[in-house]
Structure 1
Amino acid sequence: MEILIPNRLSTLGHPQRLALFQLLMRRYPDRVPATELAQALGLKPNTLSTYVNALMHAGLISQERIGTSLRYSIDMDATRETVDYLLHDCCRGRPEICTPNAYSIINGDSPMADRKYNVLFICTGNSARSIFAESILRDLAGDRFVVYSAGTKSRSELNPFAVEVLEQKGHDVSALRSKNISEFQGADAPEFDFVFTVCNQAANEECPSWHNQPVSAHWGLPDPVKVEGSDAEKSLAFHQTYGALRNRMTAFTALPLVSLDRLSLHKAVDEIGQSTDKGSKI
């Protein structure tokens, strides 16, 4: 392992290889198509190929071919091995010295307190998917969660198909509005316990980290706004997205938050994000 670690650190020392690694970490455990990686990072295909080959050679990411598409994901075993080396060897067996805040949160191994939790859902436009998530969770468990949503590039108004679906499902839409993520990053912003991205583009973007290290996961779903066709076809796409998110919210509200340690909770929300949502009720 000692031979591999310097190579991995050297590989991550290149800014754009590091950016690629960070993007895949934000999308973990997704396998992300090469075309999406290149677009998100503004790289030419041959340049991306050079970077992924270096990261694969270092053992930090893995490759899978699905049809004609190459997809990449973090090799979490190698990543943990590298971090463990830094914390337990370079920090001389005292990781609490190097990263005291992270160490106390991650290794405290204590469940969350029984209280109301602040939850933020993020997508690009904050006009459909994150608005769905906000409305569904608030109505399912508003007594347990204070729910917010925001967009990395918020639109000026909510998507009319999304509003129509919410009204049909009995949600109060009067107070809903499109918000930019900057509203939740100031000194007076709520401290979030959970932060979820619900679209791939938002997860691909490098957003500022949350200082209190909330439990986070990527619950990406296709964008119904991009569906073309008749109004009936578009409406169906929004209903399906609503159904998929409702299934995820139902699974999330069923988690025994006060009895799960942080690592178990991270695993549980990751698994919810990986659900296929087959048979979603619309």
Structure 2
Amino acid sequence: MEKMIPDRLAILGHPARLALFRLLMRRYPDRLPAGEIAGALDLKASTLSTYLSSLMQVGLVTQQRAGTSLMYSVDMETVRQTFDYLLIDCCRGRPEMCAPVPVPQTSGKRSVLFLCTGNSARSIMAEAILRDMAGDRFKAYSAGTHPRDSVNPNALQALEANGITAVGLSPKHMDAFYGHTAPEMDFVFTVCNHAANEECPTWEGQPINGHWGLPDPSSLVADGADMQAAFQQTFIALRQRIAAFVQLRLDSMDRIAMQSAVDFIARLPEDYDA
């Protein structure tokens, strides 16, 4: 394994291959089709194929066929082995230099930011659900990478149908939550694949990140009862994940445990009952 470390570092030393690796790390444990990766990174198919081949040769990325598609994911065991080797080698006798970033001790409410592309439906609904469910423990926010002008009326209707107020909700750009004057986040969750694939800023305070991707109900070509049903299904999926999240005993968890719990919640089935 040690013989492969220089090759892995050399492969990751290329900016475009590093960007590809970081994208797959952000989306782990998801497996992504080549087309989605190429679109997210604006790469030609032939160029992407070359980069993926290089990462697979050193064991950092795995390939799996799903029907007619090839799906890609990081090989987390190889990634852990590589990081462990580097940390053990550089921290020998000095563990305090390379210890994981501690979770800040929070005496008041923890801040949670939900991100999607338009900030008009899924992230807005998640913000409202968390406020309603545990507003005494969390400060809930939402934003978009390319925010719409207004909240989707079907999202508002779904919230109100479930007894949750929509007062004060509006789309905002994620830049409003970046910088020294912005509120410091404890958790940042992406709720759409497009936002998760984008390169987000380095958030102040190094919050726990999670990807709770859900289909966009507003993309459904339907109207009336079918559209309302799609938004209700999205509401239920978000409520299930948020219910599991608010039940976590965060005060007794370290950073690694929190990240594992957030990743576990992302894989919950849609019929999960918290």
TM category (shorter chain) comes to over 0.9
Alignment of structure 1 residues 57-136 onto 2, 5 Å? 57-94=57-94, 96-97=96-97, 103=99, 105-106=101-102, 113=106, 115-136=108-129
What amino acid does structure 2 have at the position aligned with 1:25? M
Three-state SS of the structure 2 residue aligned to 1:59 is coil
Measured in 2, the distance between the counterparts of 1:178 and 1:274 equals: 27
My pick for the range that moved more, 221-230 or 130-139, is 221-230
Measured in 2, the distance between the counterparts of 1:220 and 1:279 equals: 16
1:203 to 196, 199, 204: 196
Instruction: Report what 2:46 is aligned to.
Output: 46
Instruction: Report what 2:164 is aligned to.
Output: 171
Given that residues 178 and 204 in structure 2 are in contact (C-alpha distance below 8 angstroms), is that contact kept between their aligned partners in structure 1? Answer: no
1:50-102 Cα distance to aligned partner (Å, 9 max, x none): 111111111111111111111111111111222222222145453544x5xxx
1:14-56 Cα distance to aligned partner (Å, 9 max, x none): 1111110010111111111111101111112222111111111
Task: Provide the TM-score with structure 1 as the length reference.
Answer: 0.92
Measured in 2, the distance between the counterparts of 1:280 and 1:230 equals: 29
- Find out whether 1:7 has 2:7 as its counterpart: yes
Give the superposition deviation at 1:263.
1.1
- Report how many residues are paired: 274
Given that residues 115 and 144 in structure 1 are in contact (C-alpha distance below 8 angstroms), is that contact kept between their aligned partners in structure 2? Answer: yes
Alignment of structure 1 residues 129-278 onto 2, 5 Å? 129-278=122-271
Structure 2 unaligned segments of length 5 or more: list them. none
Distance 1:58 1:194, change over 3 A: same
Distance 1:279 1:236, change over 3 A: farther
Given that residues 179 and 204 in structure 2 are in contact (C-alpha distance below 8 angstroms), is that contact kept between their aligned partners in structure 1? Answer: no
State, as a whole percentage, how many aligned pairs show the same letter.
Answer: 56
Give the superposition deviation at 1:280.
8.0
Give the superposition deviation at 1:104.
5.3
Task: Provide the TM-score with structure 2 as the length reference.
Answer: 0.94
Measured in 2, the distance between the counterparts of 1:127 and 1:58 equals: 41
Given that residues 190 and 210 in structure 2 are in contact (C-alpha distance below 8 angstroms), is that contact kept between their aligned partners in structure 1? Answer: yes
Three-state SS of the structure 2 residue aligned to 1:3 is helix
Structure 1 unaligned segments of length 5 or more: list them. none
1:221-264 Cα distance to aligned partner (Å, 9 max, x none): 01111111233222211110011000001111111112222211
Distance 1:96 1:279, change over 3 A: closer
Give the root-mean-square deviation of aligned CA atoms.
1.9
What amino acid does structure 2 have at the position aligned with 1:89? D
What amino acid does structure 2 have at the position aligned with 1:252? F
Instruction: Report what 1:19 is aligned to.
Output: 19
What amino acid does structure 2 have at the position aligned with 1:269? V
What amino acid does structure 2 have at the position aligned with 1:202? A
